[in-house]
Structure 1
Amino acid sequence: MRRRTPPAPAPLPQRQGVDPVRVRLPLDGGWATVADYLAHRLPDEVGDRLAEMVQGGEIVTADGPIDAATPYQPGASVWFHRDLPAETPVPFPVELVHRDERLVIVDKPHFLATTPRGSHVVETALSRLRTELDLPHLVPAHRLDRLTAGLVMFIADPRARGAYQGLFRDRLVHKEYQAVAPYLPELEQPRTVRSRMVKERGVIAAREEPGEVNAVSRVELLERRGGLARYRLVPLTGRTHQLRLHMSSLGAPIIGDPVYPVVLPPVAPDDFSRPLQLLATTLEFTDPITGRELRLRSRRTLAAWADQPVMADRHLLEC
């Protein structure tokens, strides 16, 4: 399979596993200097720090640091590091499940974001792995919600990014999850949930509405314990929050979900006492480069089910 040429490296190194920001100068810009444009384009990101960053050589082009008089050059790029936010450490390890020269597959804990976003930057699986494994070019092949634990694939070889990301784009990866949620005796099992989901930018909760189906999930009861049940969930599409919303719409919201069916007030950053009971247990795919069949299993368990005897489908959790 043809591999694409890796992108040119940024002229600034990563900082704690975090890439520098790249800003391209518009072709139709009329600013006198690069600093003038950045003050216009990024007032909330550089703000009062702009003069200090320029003076300290923290903003660079491909030719080196800019100064206050560096003229605006349409189409050029500049790089700099955002100031890292104060973050509460997530006190759980990222466990390595599989590693070769192209792939890194890990078992992510609850509460750890997959990639930097918003207030979660250094405390993410990607930043940790880049630093701990000394793999600065590592990128995700897909993403897992911060509150969801389980298997996540990363790509170590930049030349192979297209091949592995294409597996998820073309739905060639079989993924399974397990969840603990209320037991509903009237719920026909197994069943396939189909709906139209809408997730608006800046709105935490997705919603369902009439229209063409774009989200499909398979739900199967594995075990019951009193008023709770353990379910196998198989997403046949990849919408944000799909499994969480579908379980809630069935009347069985996943235990520990702070968004569905109701958005709850945020908890303290150091409160890890109520993890979402959703675990990405399975990744199965054919390696597009080697042709090898890979079948990987999470070693994690869900806390709400941890006191159970040997599970009826124990083979799902074995590697």
Structure 2
Amino acid sequence: MRVNLLHMARKKGRPTLPLPPRDGLGASRVRVPEGPGIRALDFLWHVVSTQRHRHPDDDLSAVQQRFDDSLVVLRDTTPVLADDWLAPGTDIFFYRRPAPEKPVPYSITTVYEDGDILVVDKPPFLATMPRASHITETATVRLRRSTLNEELTPAHRLDRGTSGLLLLTKRRDVRGAYQDLFARREVDKVYEAIAPLRSLRVPAIWEHHLVKEHGDPAGAVVPDLEPNSRTVVSSATRLSSEEEASLVSLYDVDGPLGRYVLHPVTGRTHQLRLQMMAEAAPILGDTIYPNLLPAEAEDFSLPMRLRCTGLAFIDPLSGQPRSFQLD
């Protein structure tokens, strides 16, 4: 039996991955809690057996097989044996086995691709990155599997219910440049939302103080606090009679319906959904606002009508302007 007292410091520069992504999924990291320490097999079995969204076949023998295949490692890639004693604070890395998921009946289409980036039209009902119960039915995992590129990574995120333009980087060495571009708010983003038409004076600026607690599916607009979100509304126009009639029937709502063109300056979680509810009307198909619907009520035929239709920025590598639009 080996005794591990590892407390590794992070190396300077870009960290290496103890286990590379596999089949579209990155490895998970777990840390041994405070206490007397624990045998590696006992610790990992506890982690896997208490996982909320676990594959039914991921039993104790499957956990043992990970150790046998050297697929449980330390930060420095040293394989961990099942009988190793892990000290508190030790990080180990392994691959989770996600539970089966209901397939999302929409495809991802490519809008643009070069050696550095991939721009796609993400459909509704696909999360951008794996999270909670949505692991394999996500844009990132689907695209990594279809392109065989395990380094493919989103530079920004779209809500699971939101469709439209999503930019991904194709290599780790360019990832930071594009992610920083979005983090610094240097990307002009355009969204279209369809909702009951309200009388608005446009162009307009919507500013609110928005809050959303981690783990809470819904956020809120808090009045009388300094705004932390800003959106420019460039237009709000009625849909054509044909499109309006189709959506009124599909969503069982009353007309008139409008198309709101929104330019978010900030990127708060659920920003456009909350601001539409506060200033105009809830977006068609929104399963959280104004009323949170149970997960089992989700209907793939009724997507939320919020779509990212434009991205424009100065490319961080070439210095040239880039612009992508959807009809």
- The one-letter code matched in structure 1 to 2:41 is A
Report which stretch shifted further, 289-298 or 255-264: 255-264
- In the alignment, the residues of structure 1 paired with residue 310 and residue 21 of structure 2 have an alpha-carbon distance, to the nearest angstrom, of 34
1:63 maps to 78
Q: 2:279 aligns with which of 237, 250, 257?
A: 250
- In the alignment, the residues of structure 1 paired with residue 268 and residue 91 of structure 2 have an alpha-carbon distance, to the nearest angstrom, of 33
Q: TM-score, normalised by structure 1?
A: 0.83
1:274 maps to 302
**1:39-50 to 2 correspondences below 5 Å:** 44-45=50-51
- The one-letter code matched in structure 1 to 2:66 is G
Q: Residue 206 of structure 1: CA displacement?
A: 0.7
Say if 2:23 is the partner of 1:20: no
2:6 maps to none
- In the alignment, the residues of structure 1 paired with residue 275 and residue 322 of structure 2 have an alpha-carbon distance, to the nearest angstrom, of 28
- In the alignment, the residues of structure 2 paired with residue 13 and residue 264 of structure 1 have an alpha-carbon distance, to the nearest angstrom, of 34
- In the alignment, the residues of structure 1 paired with residue 66 and residue 227 of structure 2 have an alpha-carbon distance, to the nearest angstrom, of 51
Report which stretch shifted further, 278-287 or 214-223: 214-223
Q: Residue 261 of structure 1: CA displacement?
A: 1.7
Q: 1:208 aligns with which of 216, 221, 231?
A: 221
Q: What's the C-alpha RMSD, in Å, of the aligned pairs?
A: 2.4
- Whether the 8 Å CA contact 1:57–1:65 is kept in 2: the answer is no
2:251 maps to none
**1:220-231 to 2 correspondences below 5 Å:** 220-225=234-239, 227-231=256-260
Please state whether the residue corresponding to 1:245 is helix, strand or coil.
helix
Q: TM-score, normalised by structure 2?
A: 0.81
Report which stretch shifted further, 113-122 or 5-14: 5-14
Say if 2:312 is the partner of 1:284: yes
Q: Residue 265 of structure 1: CA displacement?
A: 3.3
Q: Residue 75 of structure 1: CA displacement?
A: 5.4
- In the alignment, the residues of structure 2 paired with residue 29 and residue 37 of structure 1 have an alpha-carbon distance, to the nearest angstrom, of 12
Over 3 Å counting, the alpha-carbon distance change for 1:230 and 1:12 in structure 2 is: closer
- The one-letter code matched in structure 2 to 1:245 is L
Say if 2:169 is the partner of 1:128: no
Unaligned runs of 5+ in 1: 299-316
Q: Note the alpha carbon deviations across 1:7-26, whole angstroms, 9 max, x for none.
A: 32333651x31112122446
Q: Residue 266 of structure 1: CA displacement?
A: 3.2
**% same residue:** 40
Q: Residue 73 of structure 1: CA displacement?
A: 4.5
Please state whether the residue corresponding to 2:178 is helix, strand or coil.
helix
Equivalent residues, number: 291
Unaligned runs of 5+ in 2: 1-11, 240-254
- The one-letter code matched in structure 2 to 1:188 is R
- The one-letter code matched in structure 2 to 1:8 is T
- Whether the 8 Å CA contact 2:40–2:86 is kept in 1: the answer is yes
Over 3 Å counting, the alpha-carbon distance change for 1:31 and 1:116 in structure 2 is: same
2:243 maps to none
- In the alignment, the residues of structure 1 paired with residue 190 and residue 107 of structure 2 have an alpha-carbon distance, to the nearest angstrom, of 22
- In the alignment, the residues of structure 2 paired with residue 55 and residue 143 of structure 1 have an alpha-carbon distance, to the nearest angstrom, of 36
- In the alignment, the residues of structure 1 paired with residue 89 and residue 314 of structure 2 have an alpha-carbon distance, to the nearest angstrom, of 41
